[in-house]
Amino acid sequence: MKRIMSLVVLVALLTTAFFASCQQEAALGTEENPIVWAFVPSGDTQEISAGGQAVADMIYDKTSLVVEASVATEYAGVIEALQSDPPSAHMASLATFAYVVAADRGVAESELVAVRYGRPFYDGQIIANADSGISQLSDLAGKSFARPDPLSTSGWIIPSLTMRAAGIDPDTDLSQVVDAGGHTGVVTAVYNGDVDAGATFVDARGNIEADFPDVYERVQVIEVSAPIPNDGVQFHPSVPAEMREQIVEALLEIADDPDGAEALNQAYQWDGLERHGDDFYDPFRQVLQAAGVDAGELMAE
């Protein structure tokens, strides 16, 4: 009986080792070892997932590389996936600040930057419910505030710096800070009066206009930021240069195709893509440095 049990255990161990070996040997970009493209939850998760996977399928049609779209529950989750050993994400579409953090940690390299409204930059905005009594930054003292995520560039990093410059300490002067899980969630919370104010990209109010046509009257903009580099497509350094170039070329072709452009827009409201490396984000790094902000330390808080 013991001998039989030993044989069963041995077979189980050998089987496990065999499949583990096969998985390790499977080339990146195959069904057994897909290229995982991680997205941050900046908008509606189902929309991002559907659009992202549609683009991933188009990449396969052009390159025969299997890409799997994955939407994280929070911005930090994508960075953690890139940092894991081995990485559980090989591509990412990180927002500006999150990308800077990942790049500084050596786990992400920029290849493409999104184009919206004809430019690779966007603006942030601080918004307030029309009945909140808020018309300027100083009115935020004692008010509740919604942000998409603690690592959202336009939804928290830049607004918090803007508030500090206006004499409002977001850590002590706001009555409450709520994580809404995305820019659409921030607009909805402000519209419903669940919070007094919040911050998003310009103009996230359009995300709920179909359901709430009066959103532009009930949710008012009180501050607009300076231009911020757009999000885009980044790769883990372990992804081979040749494979990376195949995907980049495919994505540029997809962005020029009507069906591809529709899928990119569904995923992240991208109108196009441009090639930009890490140095594209240097001016933003300089803004952080001038404000005395250390990206790594801020993320650790």
Report the share of the chain in percent with pLDDT over 90: 68
Whether the CB-CB separation of 33 and 23 falls below 8 Å is answered with: yes
Task: State residue 23's pLDDT score.
Answer: 47
Q: How many domains does the chain have?
A: 2
Query: Do residues 113 and 44 share a domain?
Result: yes
In a domain, 155, yes or no: yes
Which CATH number is 214's domain given? 3.40.190.10
**Residue 28, pLDDT above cutoff 60:** yes
* Residues 206, 135 share a domain: yes
Range of 191's domain?
Answer: 124-225
| DSSP 8-state assignment for residue 73 | S
Q: Is the pLDDT of residue 48 over 50?
A: yes
Of 201, 225, 249, the one marking the end of a domain is 225
Confidence at 105, pLDDT banded by 50, 70, 90 = very high
Those residues with Cβ within 8 angstroms of residue 146's Cβ, 6 or more apart along the chain or in another chain: 177, 178, 179, 180, 185, 186, 189, 190, 194, 195, 197, 198, 199
Whether 153 and 84 map to the same domain: the answer is: no
Q: Say yes or no: 148 and 220 in one domain.
A: yes
* Residue at which a domain ends, from 225, 257, 278: 225
Decide if 108 is inside a domain: yes
Same domain, 99 and 239: yes
Identify whether residues 130 and 215 lie together within a single domain: yes
Same domain, 170 and 49: no
Which residues are 221's β-sheet partners? Answer: 127
- Give the pLDDT mean for 224-246: 94
Whether residue 23 lies inside any domain: the answer is no
Distances (CA, A) of 135 to 44, 130, 166: 29, 9, 13
- Kindly report, residue by residue over 114-165, the tens digit of the pLDDT: 998 899 998 999 999 999 999 999 999 999 999 999 989 899 999 999 998 8
- Do 52 and 193 belong together in one domain? no
